[in-house]
């Protein structure tokens, strides 16, 4: 157990009265106009947010590498039970410090979690029951499999599996597959293979993927690490690495499409560290149209010259490509500025938020300069040239080893940043960053409160455990005025975020079969669940009612196999 007295003195609560939220702590605050605003939540999380994940218990798991030495969250005892003293060797011993914490969104408090092996540059996926599956890392952690099952009593912790991965998975990516709780793990440093968790047989090994070897820039740090993975609605896997991409049938271990190379120079994957999303899937075409987007990255040669203190301007270009059907062409456009090491998040509105990162250089220890302080908002349905807007700037640099994710109340949680290989807070260009922020989009402004659906609840027809594919379910909400013709119902799979990649992130717009307006402003809509796990793999999703572009607070629902 951590030293509570020490915790109070080290992890200082922010002044929450700066911005008071109503309706479960979120909606109704003034966001400062069209560009949104920023809120400081904590001065100190204790641990760098190299990795973050939102659980269905409304907590956020934050963790770093264990190899960074002492964090700012000191423990009274090691996990083995041996006391941590004030002796010099204990003050320098990583096991006397927490390297993972759980942040409670409502209470703004954190508690330490146990990590036995190094999670540096690892990967993760949520399973159908809400458990976080966490794979790989560095050194002792490179072949480890870990689990975190969120709980309501504050007693849950990391568990490490006795089974190991077949290959070292350092800078690998994960994707949850349509089969119940089966995950594919792809790539890694100097590893050109993929494998599945869990293994169906004890003799199962990894499978060679020549595409990863072809896309590897040996002298530039790889540029194909943390490959972008997106599950297409036909059940095949889109894999993007460096500048190239394929559609892969993982069941038959076969490449079924090779897509055109994204135009322009530079690279998109780690350490060039662009980012990618699968654009919202829509019931209007039965979720058949699947389009991916890739933005930013680093210029050619950026990694090599960064090690000598020269930081090349990052890429400004974005590419969109439809990966379904038979015609595939990248459609290019430019962001308002260059960007690398940023996060791309799908908002409840279906818009894309681009946040964090740097304007020059690439990923790696002190390999970048000029932080990107202004988020960008991208509206996919606008005409070319009118899709991007620039939002309110932060004053905190969020570059290497920072993360961001969407919260159920619509805010964006932003944390981390550490281009140093230790926790260093002074006499460096970019100190270790432990402050925790929220970016508040303008759709949360109180001026839109009259449009915002409230008191959202769901009712399942056949099972208390979840909603079966293709099944109807009811959503009730309150709207004081008659709803617009633009009421949409979205479901969002929260990702595991690290190193500019949001693994398993996807948003679907569901069909409303019938809507009834009752007395007192109450509405009941009958929605249709996605047709198959290819469209939405089993698990927990955030359901949001969006009226005239203004989202409700999101509610957790679960899709299950019948």
Task: Concatenate the DSSP letters of all residues of 389-458 into one string.
Answer: EE-PPPSS---TTEEEEE-TTS-EEEEE---SSS---SSSSS-----EEEEE-GGGSGGGGGG--EEEEE
* pLDDT tens-place string over residues 401-453: 999 999 999 999 999 999 999 999 999 999 999 999 999 999 999 999 999 99
pLDDT surpassing 90 at residue 200: no
* pLDDT tens-place string over residues 479-520: 987 767 789 999 999 999 999 999 999 999 999 999 998 878
Cβ atoms of 505 and 517 within 8 Å: the answer is: no
Output the pLDDT for position 482: 73
d(CA 27, CA 366): 38
Go through the chain and tell me how many residues it has: 562
CATH topology of domain 446-560: Immunoglobulin-like (2.60.40)
Sign of CA dihedral 233, 236, 241, 243: negative
71 versus 22: the higher-pLDDT residue is: 71
What is the average per-residue pLDDT within 232-238? 98
What is the average per-residue pLDDT within 380-385? 96
Neighbours of 134 (CB within 10 A): 29
Would you give the DSSP letter of residue 284? G
Cβ atoms of 123 and 188 within 8 Å: the answer is: no
Distances (CA, A) of 192 to 122, 167, 171: 16, 10, 12
Output the pLDDT for position 33: 66
What is the average per-residue pLDDT within 348-368? 98
Mean pLDDT of all residues belonging to the chain: 92
Predicted structure pTM score = 0.93
pLDDT surpassing 50 at residue 366: yes
* pLDDT tens-place string over residues 106-152: 999 999 999 989 999 999 999 999 999 999 999 999 999 999 999 99
**Domain boundary assignment for the chain:** 1-120+401-444, 446-560
| Stretch among 169-173, 340-344, 497-501, 511-515 having the lowest mean pLDDT | 511-515
Output the pLDDT for position 460: 83
| Stretch among 109-118, 143-152, 195-204, 389-398 having the lowest mean pLDDT | 195-204
């Amino acid at each position: 157990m951590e030293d509570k007295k020490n915790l109070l003195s080290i992890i200082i609560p922010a002044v929450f009265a700066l911005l008071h939220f109503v309706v479960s702590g979120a909606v109704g605050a003034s966001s400062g106009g069209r560009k949104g605003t920023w809120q400081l939540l904590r001065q100190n999380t204790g641990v760098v947010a190299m990795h973050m994940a939102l659980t269905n218990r409304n907590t956020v798991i934050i963790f770093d590498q264990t190899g960074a030495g002492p964090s700012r969250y000191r423990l009274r005892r090691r996990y083995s039970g041996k006391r941590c003293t004030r002796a010099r060797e204990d003050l320098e011993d990583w096991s006397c410090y927490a390297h993972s914490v759980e942040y409670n969104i409502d209470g703004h408090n954190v508690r330490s979690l146990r990590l036995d092996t190094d999670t540096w540059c690892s990967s993760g996926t949520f399973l159908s029951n809400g458990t976080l599956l966490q794979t790989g890392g560095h050194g002792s952690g490179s072949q480890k499999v870990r689990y975190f099952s969120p709980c309501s009593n504050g007693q849950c912790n990391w568990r490490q599996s006795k089974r190991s991965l077949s290959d070292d998975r350092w800078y690998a990516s994960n994707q949850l597959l349509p089969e119940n709780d089966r995950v594919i793990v792809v790539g890694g440093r100097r590893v050109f293979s993929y494998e599945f968790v869990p293994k169906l047989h004890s003799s199962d090994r990894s499978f060679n993927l020549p595409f990863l070897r072809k896309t590897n820039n040996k002298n530039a740090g790889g540029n194909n690490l943390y490959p972008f993975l997106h599950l297409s609605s036909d059940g095949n896997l889109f894999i993007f690495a460096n500048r190239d991409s394929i559609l892969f049938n993982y069941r038959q271990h076969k490449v079924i499409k090779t897509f055109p190379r994204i135009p322009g120079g530079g690279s998109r994957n780690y350490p060039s560290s662009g980012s990618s999303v699968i654009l919202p899937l829509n019931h209007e075409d039965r979720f058949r149209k699947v389009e991916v987007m890739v933005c930013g990255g680093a210029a050619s040669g950026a990694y090599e010259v960064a090690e000598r203190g020269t930081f090349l301007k990052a890429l400004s270009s974005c590419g969109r490509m439809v990966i379904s059907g038979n015609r595939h062409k990248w459609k290019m456009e430019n962001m308002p500025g260059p960007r690398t090491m940023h996060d791309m998040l799908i908002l409840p509105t279906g818009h894309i938020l681009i946040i964090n990162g740097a304007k020059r250089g690439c990923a790696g220890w002190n390999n970048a300069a000029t932080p990107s302080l202004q988020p960008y908002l991208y509206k996919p349905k606008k005409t070319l040239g009118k899709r991007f807007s620039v939002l309110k700037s932060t004053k905190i640099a969020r570059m290497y080893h920072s993360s961001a994710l969407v919260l159920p109340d619509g805010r964006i949680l932003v944390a981390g940043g550490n281009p140093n290989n230790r926790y260093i807070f002074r006499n460096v260009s970019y100190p270790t960053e432990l402050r925790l922020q929220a970016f508040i989009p303008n759709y949360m402004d109180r001026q839109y409160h009259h449009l915002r659906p409230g008191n959202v609840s769901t009712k399942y027809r056949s099972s208390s455990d979840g909603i079966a594919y293709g099944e109807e379910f009811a959503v009730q909400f309150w709207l004081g005025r008659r709803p617009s013709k633009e009421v949409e119902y979205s479901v969002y799979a929260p990702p595991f975020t690290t190193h500019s990649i949001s693994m398993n992130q996807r948003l679907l717009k569901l069909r409303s079969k019938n809507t009834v307006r009752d007395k007192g402003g109450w509405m009941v809509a009958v929605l249709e669940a996605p047709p198959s796990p290819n469209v939405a793999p089993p698990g927990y999703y955030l359901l949001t009612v969006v009226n005239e572009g203004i989202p409700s607070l999101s509610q957790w629902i679960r899709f299950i196999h019948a």
